[in-house]
Amino acid sequence: MRNLRVAFGQTNPVVGDFNHNLRQIQDAIEIAHGNADLIVFGELALCGYPLGDLSYRRDIIDGSESALQTLIQFSKSYDALTIVVGHASHALGKPVATQESFAIAHNSASVIEAGELIGTYHKQLLPNFDVFDDWRNFVPGSEELFFSVNGVKCALAICQDIWTEDDQRSKALAASGVELLVVPNGSPFGKGKHETRLTAARKFQRGFGIAYANLSGGQDELVFDGSGFLLHPDGTLAFQAGITEGVQLSTTESVEHTETERLWEALVVGLRDYLAKTGQRKVILGLSGGIDSALSAAIACEAIGPENVYGVALPSRYSSEHSIADAKALAENLGLNYSLIEIDQAHKAFEHLVELGDVAGENIQARIRAVILMGISNTDGQLLLSTGNKSEIAVGYSTMYGDSAGGFAPIKDLYKTEVWALATWLNKSKGKELIPQNSISKPPSAELRPDQLDNDSLPEYEVLDRVIEALVEKSLTIDEVAATGINRELVVQIDDLIRKAEWKRAQGVIGTKVSAVAFGSGRRVPLTTRFEKL
């Protein structure tokens, strides 16, 4: 590696917006030129990632290839810099006999230098788990690409290529005399993920350094959290980039973040980029006085400024005084736009039109709120936020077309216990009570009937969250979960609730993924199941 200066181009692409993506890359090259010998961009930085089944469309692949040509021309004026950039490219055949997919393209990265294409590498290991559909969408490559930067022998790998138990390839790279492995990534944020990446990269090293570059920004439910790094051949850290978008140079100081800072930033960026990339500027949400809507509002205010956040308190006949007071306090603390609409008139109109049973009577309040919020949204153009958390989404503790309605759900992948912890952290880290202490400390309630508490129908969240995590994120069996010291009947009951809510989640709103298995595109289970005898 011998003092190679590496720039990490943590761009934030939009899927299919080649001009936008190219401009970001060109801006990064301008900054890096003269300050680095090599600039590395993330996986598919030119076309955006993940493409999903858009990878079947020839115009997307054509667009990606012509953006690459433009970049090659552009690089003429920056001849002291080697550029590594991710893009899609047409595949000529299916080199793997076992691949049964419609894929027509490679997930590629090209090396460019002074107006010339040095070579193109195609990703070899295509992940097919969690949110990743690479094996479905791309044709794997099989060849190495070697290139040299200032006399340092480099090779390329893309993301999953280095996350393997198999050491055949890493040994071969070492045997070929590779000094630096350059790795563009499309690696989404997850709790503890940064450490996992370092561990995976170090495990793949065989006496060569690694330049690990990642994308930045939100794309639907995923947030790419940058955090590129440069490893010395012995695995020690030469440079650690931060999570922020833009160019980061290995000649500058490394950046450190705590795990909670990373989590908070991911939630903020996830919402901000979803809005920005879909051309929206404002959000609206119902403020119940509870902790979920409070934390969601705080994330929104951080993401787009409180002047673009509209909070509406929508008390029903069962809402308590403290709910309205807490909602109002939150709005004042955050400085967001606050209003109050009593829903009882609509409630009465429906009661007049249709006879409602107990559950229906509860649900209708949540649905009236959704009708009002969507009415304002359709009139004034704010995106409606759904404020459900992972615990209630798991067990179906929500009203369809009521509180589940919205265009984005900022905390849908946070367990209730994590919601409390993050709210507490936020107040502490901002040095003031943004989220009213009462919203944090009062017992949670949906307030859809008199004196209702979540714990009337659900176990304590500390237990519930542990069981959900075991069943959903670790795919443990009921016996295995019970063996961790939890009453077996309770586990059966929670498993049952999770399965019965599958149809609700199938219609669920997207939100930022922060866990190993989020409710979203990375978890694919049938709606119709019966496990009577398990």
Active site residue 47: no
Is residue 237 within the footprint of a copy of itself (CB under 8 A)?
A: no
Site string for a copy of itself, 142-161 (x = CB under 8 A): ------------------x-
Q: In this structure, what token pair is assigned to residue 443?
A: 């017992």
**Which of 118, 249, 356, 463 forms a contact with a copy of itself (CB under 8 A)?**
356
Task: Give dist(CA 334, CA 339) in Å, integer.
Answer: 14
Tokens 């736009």 label which residue?
337
Query: Of the listed pieces 35-43, 283-291, 367-375, 439-447, which binds a copy of itself according to CB under 8 A?
Result: 367-375
**Which of 11, 12, 323, 363 forms a contact with a copy of itself (CB under 8 A)?**
363
Is residue 526 within the footprint of a copy of itself (CB under 8 A)?
A: yes
Query: Of the listed pieces 182-190, 264-272, 447-455, 501-509, which binds a copy of itself according to CB under 8 A?
Result: 501-509
Is residue 449 within the footprint of a copy of itself (CB under 8 A)?
A: no
- 15/174 with CB nearer a copy of itself: 15
Q: Tell me the closest approach of the beta carbon of residue 406 to a copy of itself, in angstroms.
A: 9
246-249 β-sheet, strand order: 116-122, 105-113, 82-90, 38-41, 6-10, 246-249
Q: Tell me the closest approach of the beta carbon of residue 413 to a copy of itself, in angstroms.
A: 16
Helix (H, G, I), strand (E, B) or coil at 23: helix
Helix (H, G, I), strand (E, B) or coil at 457: helix
The answer to whether 206 and 176 have CB atoms below 8 angstroms apart is: no
Query: How many CB atoms are closer than 10 A to CB 358?
Result: 9
464: which residues sit within 8 A by CB, 6+ positions away? 391, 395, 416, 458, 494
Active site residue 259: no
Task: Give dist(CA 287, CA 82) in Å, integer.
Answer: 51
**Which of 237, 360, 453, 483 forms a contact with a copy of itself (CB under 8 A)?**
360
Residues between 103 and 122 that touch a copy of itself (CB under 8 A) = none
**Which of 111, 285, 419, 478 forms a contact with a copy of itself (CB under 8 A)?**
478
**Which of 43, 220, 225, 403 forms a contact with a copy of itself (CB under 8 A)?**
220
Residues between 14 and 73 that touch a copy of itself (CB under 8 A) = 14-20, 48, 50-54, 56-60, 62-63
- 76/474 with CB nearer a copy of itself: 474
- 453/527 with CB nearer a copy of itself: 527
Name 184's bridge partners: 213
- 37/342 with CB nearer a copy of itself: 342
**Which of 79, 175, 430, 531 forms a contact with a copy of itself (CB under 8 A)?**
531
Q: Tell me the closest approach of the beta carbon of residue 473 to a copy of itself, in angstroms.
A: 11
Is residue 521 within the footprint of a copy of itself (CB under 8 A)?
A: yes
Closest CA to 149 of 212, 252, 80: 80
Q: In this structure, what token pair is assigned to residue 237?
A: 């850290």
Q: Tell me the closest approach of the beta carbon of residue 385 to a copy of itself, in angstroms.
A: 13
**Which residue is catalytic, options 47, 154, 159, 301?**
159
**Which of 371, 421, 490, 492 forms a contact with a copy of itself (CB under 8 A)?**
371
Please tell me the count of residues contacting a copy of itself according to CB under 8 A.
105
Is residue 92 within the footprint of a copy of itself (CB under 8 A)?
A: no
Query: Of the listed pieces 95-103, 182-190, 198-206, 298-306, which binds a copy of itself according to CB under 8 A?
Result: 95-103
Q: Mark 139-160 as b/e (b = at least 16 C-beta within 10 Å).
A: bbbeebbbbebeebebbbbbbb
Cis (ω within 30 of 0) for the bond into 127? no
Closest CA to 47 of 37, 32, 57: 57
**Which of 41, 78, 121, 135 forms a contact with a copy of itself (CB under 8 A)?**
135
Q: In this structure, what token pair is assigned to residue 454?
A: 């979540």
Residues between 387 and 426 that touch a copy of itself (CB under 8 A) = 400-401, 405, 407
Beta strands in 274-428 (DSSP E): 283-286, 309-313, 337-340, 383-384
The answer to whether 464 and 391 have CB atoms below 8 angstroms apart is: yes
Active site residue 473: no
Is residue 274 within the footprint of a copy of itself (CB under 8 A)?
A: yes
Burial of 344 from C-beta contacts in 10 A (0-12 / 13-18 / 19+) = middle
Q: In this structure, what token pair is assigned to residue 466?
A: 């542990």
Residues between 279 and 338 that touch a copy of itself (CB under 8 A) = none
Tokens 């306090």 label which residue?
329
**Which of 30, 100, 489, 496 forms a contact with a copy of itself (CB under 8 A)?**
100
Q: Tell me the closest approach of the beta carbon of residue 349 to a copy of itself, in angstroms.
A: 4
**Which residue is catalytic, options 47, 113, 123, 277?**
123
Task: Give dist(CA 460, CA 452) in Å, integer.
Answer: 15
DSSP string, 172-222: HHHHTT--EEEEEE--B--TTHHHHHHHHHHHH-SS-EEEEEE-EEEETTE
Is residue 529 within the footprint of a copy of itself (CB under 8 A)?
A: yes
At residue 266, φ and ψ (nearest 5 deg) are -60, -40
- 32/383 with CB nearer a copy of itself: 383
- 97/151 with CB nearer a copy of itself: 97
Name 222's bridge partners: 219
Return the active site residues.
Answer: 43, 123, 159
